[in-house]
Amino acid sequence: MTATQWALLAITLLAGAATPGASLALVINTATKQGRLPGIVQSLAHGIGVGFYALLVSTGISSVLFASERAFQVLQVGGCLLLLYLGAKMIMGGWNSRPNTALSVKLDSEAGADLNSEIEDGQLAESNSIWSHASKGFLIVFLNPKIALFFLAVFSQFLHPGQSLVLQWSMASLAGVIDALWYLSMAFLVSISRVSKTINRFGWQLDILWGSVLVTIAGALATTI
């Protein structure tokens, strides 16, 4: 492949990663509520999941998946159920925390950065394990086989018979790295103190919003199964 082809592939992959969807909602919510480290872990796991599907497509293994309609549908159903679960959990969490929102904002304005740090520490202490965040980041990709269809459409423009396995692995790795870097940038952005403080002022509303986004996406995907 020429340098121009690599550049075109990278731009296409970045555009795909930057498309708003369930993954973005999950990473932003995690980084905002649980802290930067869980957001980073989730972003890296998401990149690994994307790289996994990219590798399947680039090496031709995806044809096995698409050859079995039932296997494809099982993954689709699993993905919808995961989105419904995560969305419902966000909505319920936001609804249950709404009575404390006004008090949190008042205390934050009185105590300043120290109190905000204590609240963040408390959130981290109550957060799920790192492995839990990693599994969510990976599964939201793994249970969405349509991502493989995206790579099939993209890689079909760049893959040709006789290409080396190293080249195929490189293309798949590029997809995973670009995806991980995009979500890492989002996790870093929303976990900046000033940004996260602003977001947390509307914490329960955003929980319900992001949860509704996931549930809506799950419903839309369910109609296509």
The answer to the question of residue 129 being in a domain is yes
Provide the domain count of the chain: 1
Per-residue pLDDT averaged across 173-192, rounded? 92
d(CA 48, CA 44): 6
The answer to the question of residue 6 being in a domain is no
Q: Which residues of 163-199 are buried (b: 16+ CB within 10 A; e: fewer)?
A: eeeeebeebbebbbebbbebbbebbeebbeeeebeeb
H or E, element range at 26 = helix 22-34
- Contact yes or no for 214/83 (Cβ under 8 A): yes
The answer to the question of residue 8 being in a domain is no
**Closest by CA position to 55, among listed 223, 146, 174:** 174
The answer to the question of residue 183 being in a domain is yes
H or E, element range at 74 = helix 69-97
* Residue pLDDT, tens place only, 95-130: 887 765 444 444 344 444 443 444 345 444 444 588
Which pLDDT does position 184 carry in this prediction? 94
- Entry field: residues in the chain: 225
d(CA 217, CA 212): 8
The answer to the question of residue 5 being in a domain is no
d(CA 12, CA 35): 30
The answer to the question of residue 11 being in a domain is no
* Residue pLDDT, tens place only, 23-77: 888 898 888 888 889 999 999 999 999 998 898 888 876 566 566 677 667 767 8
The answer to the question of residue 13 being in a domain is no
The answer to the question of residue 174 being in a domain is yes
Provide the residue range defining the domain that includes 116. Answer: 23-222
Q: Which two tokens stand for residue 189?
A: 């952005």
